[in-house]
Amino acid sequence: KQEVTQIPAALSVPEGENLVLNCSFTDSAIYNLQWFRQDPGKGLTSLLLIQSSQREQTSGRLNASLDKSSGRSTLYIAASQPGDSATYLCAVGDNTDKLIFGTGTRLQVFP
Amino acid sequence: DAGVIQSPRHEVTEMGQEVTLRCKPISGHDYLFWYRQTMMRGLELLIYFNNNVPIDDSGMPEDRFSAKMPNASFSTLKIQPSEPRDSAVYFCASSLFRGLTDTQYFGPGTRLTVL
């Protein structure tokens, strides 16, 4: 059974720092991996989707990498801003249409 | 497009009552997913549909839960009878083509409280 773990569970950093969020999964037979953002009281917003054949994806200040063999993905946020404060969730897709979500990292960026 | 629409946004009910949650997916999306989010268990997939047909309901916790999708623009998740442990935020999501290769778009969720 696929299990997805995110470390750290919470993170508080000053504005301007570069930071890395980690996601690990137990079964490397994944089809893709997605990173989502969730703001308090809101739904999830997709940030980046990495197919299993890809190593990384970039969008603005965000960069996500994928290492299937080691069962790891990282989300790199450059020059963090208070507006980046949210919970970040990673989710892996296997050969069905399902996504298995991690428990999330709650990020706070203070001015 | 208005995105995925869910109603109600908040629902407070008493144990034993029937609860119906509603979802309107993004027009043209072939897949619809129902999730439940709690502090203890995180985000769990309950059931998903492809072209209005239920594909996998293995995440539905008990027979008290049922979901329907009578047409491409509407789905319901029903709990009857409701119990306090059903309290959670329920999300509906949709995606355009095969769920694996397309991202899912989430609605704002329905926060359910069962007293």
Once rounded to an integer, what is the mean pLDDT over residues B23-41? 93
Q: How far apart are CA B88 and CA B38, in angstroms?
A: 5
Taking only residues 44 to 103 of chain B, the set having a beta carbon closer than 8 angstroms to any beta carbon of chain A reads 44-45, 48, 50, 55-56, 91, 93, 98-101, 103
Residues of A in contact with B4 (CB under 8 A): 43
- What tens digit of pLDDT does each residue of A42-82 get? 889 999 999 889 999 999 999 999 999 999 999 999 999 99
Res B1: pLDDT = 64
Residues of A in contact with B56 (CB under 8 A): 96-98
First to last CA, chain B: 36
Q: Which residue has the tokens 């999501």?
A: B93
Q: Of B36, B74, B34, B35, nearest to B52 (Cα)? A: B74
Residue B52 DSSP class = T
Res A66: pLDDT = 96
> In terms of C-beta density within 10 A (0-12 exposed, 13-18 middle, 19 or more buried), how is residue B22 classed?
middle
Token pair belonging to A67: 């290492």
Residues of B in contact with A103 (CB under 8 A): 42
Strand partners, A92: A33, A100
